Amino acid sequence: MSKPGAVPFDPKTEEVVHLAGDMDHGLSSTVRLDKNKIEIQVRYRDFLVTCDLNQIEGAPMHLLWLCPRCRHTSTITSDKKQMSYEPKRLQQFGGELCVEPFKCAWELDSSRDGRRMEFGLGLCNLTLAIDCNIAKDA
């Protein structure tokens, strides 16, 4: 594993876009469906992804990830991919996360980029590995 080098979110130059999940509006009647998740920031080039990690005793870890290329969410589980999480390291990013290479299997929007949608040619296929909260092309 390499040295930690995740770049923190800079509100002066970057925008946060809330795509899914519960937002805390400060209302007492708000029901949080995601209260057991751990939010971890992962940097990929100039894209900052906040992943949701769920750890339930006796079950594999589940990581909900947003692909920076096609913007679809995927679940990565520790029974299919080697994954490690260390909450005491890189605490400013939610803990240290490492995941072996994984591939996005979503289809790209063919109207946007003109890709063919047959024989698997329209798949995103972005392959990344996460090493100390930095996603890198694999």
Residue 53 pairs in a beta bridge with 38, 63
- Taking every pair of Cα atoms in the chain, the longest distance, rounded to a whole number of angstroms, is 51
- Residues 74-112 have pLDDT tens digits of 889 999 999 999 999 999 999 999 999 998 877 666 555
Q: Report pLDDT digits (tens) over 44-66.
A: 988 888 899 988 778 888 899 88
pLDDT in tens, 1-40: 445 555 666 777 776 665 555 555 554 444 455 667 899 9
Reading the block at residue 102, the tokens are 């994984």
Per-residue confidence (pLDDT) for residue 56, from 0 to 100? 77
Beta bridge partners of 76: 63
> Cβ(70)–Cβ(108) under 8 Å?
yes
> Which residue type sits at 116?
R
